[in-house]
């Protein structure tokens, strides 16, 4: 079940905590993975680690998502390397937190450009070869705050909510060609950033979660492996919330 052999995937933000977990999950099921990010050294180190851990034929593709021309080159570069693209995972993103009344234009613009506009460009580019192949999986990592909002994150919440609406629209447009478009909305996930928080703050976060703990990157990786699989072929236009019950959304 969830066998991804003979499938290729592109994962953006692949050297980060959630991105690396998604890449590991797809590779463990047999997919060949193109690892994308802006830090070439980190990508190379992770690629070597991934091959040591699960084997396979994986590559790194450096991309600066703040530059539209670089974004437009990413899908063609992956196709040139692998000859096909079956799975696109839009995971990369940034935060520029500030209260709404104090948010600078550039803080808004940077988050929208990298989190929302780059995702649109990659979706548009990936949909074409997937439609031609009559198979594809487009998966975007959003956030619980795209549904609930969060103080200090008007820009981030807007971008994540925008990805959901964008995904639902594209899902309707290309479903008849065998291409599904879905989102994964993580809640609080344990990463290097959250590990650095004081214990009292981590306990306060965990107290808001019915399961009593933050999620792990592997929880998001497992969701991605499912949505990428052939078994998920009748699931499209959906948001899979992975948040330990913190927000039980329909």
3-state SS string over 79-105? HHHHCCCCEEEECCCCCCCECHHHCCH
CA gap 163, 241 in Å, rounded: 14
Architecture field, domain 8-241 = 3-Layer(aba) Sandwich (3.40)
Q: Give me the residue spans of the domains in the chain.
A: 8-241
Predicted confidence pLDDT, tens digits, the chain (250 residues): 799 999 999 999 999 999 999 999 999 999 999 999 999 999 999 999 999 999 999 999 999 999 999 999 999 999 999 999 999 999 999 999 999 999 999 999 999 999 999 999 999 999 999 999 999 999 999 999 999 999 999 999 999 999 999 999 999 999 999 999 999 999 999 987 677 778 888 888 889 999 999 999 999 999 999 999 999 999 999 999 999 999 998 7
pTM reported for the whole predicted model: 0.96
* pLDDT score, position 21: 97
Query: Could you tell me which residues come within 8 angstroms of residue 137 by beta carbon, excluding any fewer than 6 positions away?
Result: 86, 87, 88, 179, 180, 182, 227, 228, 229, 232
* pLDDT at residue 191, rounded to an integer: 82
Q: Annotated catalytic, 234?
A: no
Q: How far is CA 36 from the centre of its chain?
A: 11
192 burial level (CB within 10 Å; 0-12, 13-18, 19+): exposed
Q: β-strand 87-90 against 136-141: which pairing, if any?
A: parallel
N- to C-terminal Cα distance for the chain?
27
Which pLDDT score, from 0 to 100, does residue 87 have? 98
Put the strands of the sheet holding 59-62 in their side by side order.
59-62, 32-37, 8-12, 87-90, 136-141, 179-186, 239-242
- What is the pLDDT at residue 204? 86
Strand, coil or helix: what is 42? helix
Tell me how far apart the alpha carbons of residues 217 and 14 are, in angstroms, rounded to a whole number: 12
Q: List the catalytic residue out of 108, 156, 188, 226.
A: 156
pLDDT, position 202: 83
Q: Report the 10 Å Cβ neighbour count for 12.
A: 29
Q: At what angle do helices 118-133 and 154-174 cross, to 10 degrees?
A: 20
């Amino acid at each position: 079940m969830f066998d991804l052999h003979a499938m290729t995937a592109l994962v953006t933000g692949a050297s980060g905590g959630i991105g690396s977990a998604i890449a590991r999950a797809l590779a463990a099921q047999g997919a060949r993975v193109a690892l994308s990010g802006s830090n070439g050294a980190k990508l190379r180190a992770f690629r070597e680690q991934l091959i040591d851990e699960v084997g396979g034929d994986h590559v790194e593709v450096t991309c600066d998502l703040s530059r539209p021309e670089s974004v437009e080159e990413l899908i063609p570069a992956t196709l040139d390397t692998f000859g096909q693209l079956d799975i696109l995972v839009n995971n990369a993103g940034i935060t520029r937190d500030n209260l709404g009344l104090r948010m600078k234009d550039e803080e808004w613009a940077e988050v929208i450009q990298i989190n929302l506009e780059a995702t649109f460009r990659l979706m548009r580019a990936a949909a074409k070869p997937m439609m031609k192949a009559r198979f594809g999986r487009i998966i975007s990592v959003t956030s619980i705050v795209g549904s609930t909002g969060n103080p200090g994150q008007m820009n981030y919440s807007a971008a994540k909510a925008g990805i959901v609406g964008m995904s639902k629209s594209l899902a309707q447009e290309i479903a008849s060609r065998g291409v599904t478009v879905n989102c994964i909305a993580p809640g609080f996930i344990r990463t290097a950033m959250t590990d650095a928080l004081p214990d009292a703050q981590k306990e306060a976060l965990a107290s808001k979660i019915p399961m009593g703990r933050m999620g792990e990157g592997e929880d998001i990786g497992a969701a991605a492996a499912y949505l990428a699989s052939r078994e998920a072929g009748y699931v499209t236009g959906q948001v899979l919330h992975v948040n330990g019950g913190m927000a039980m959304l329909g």
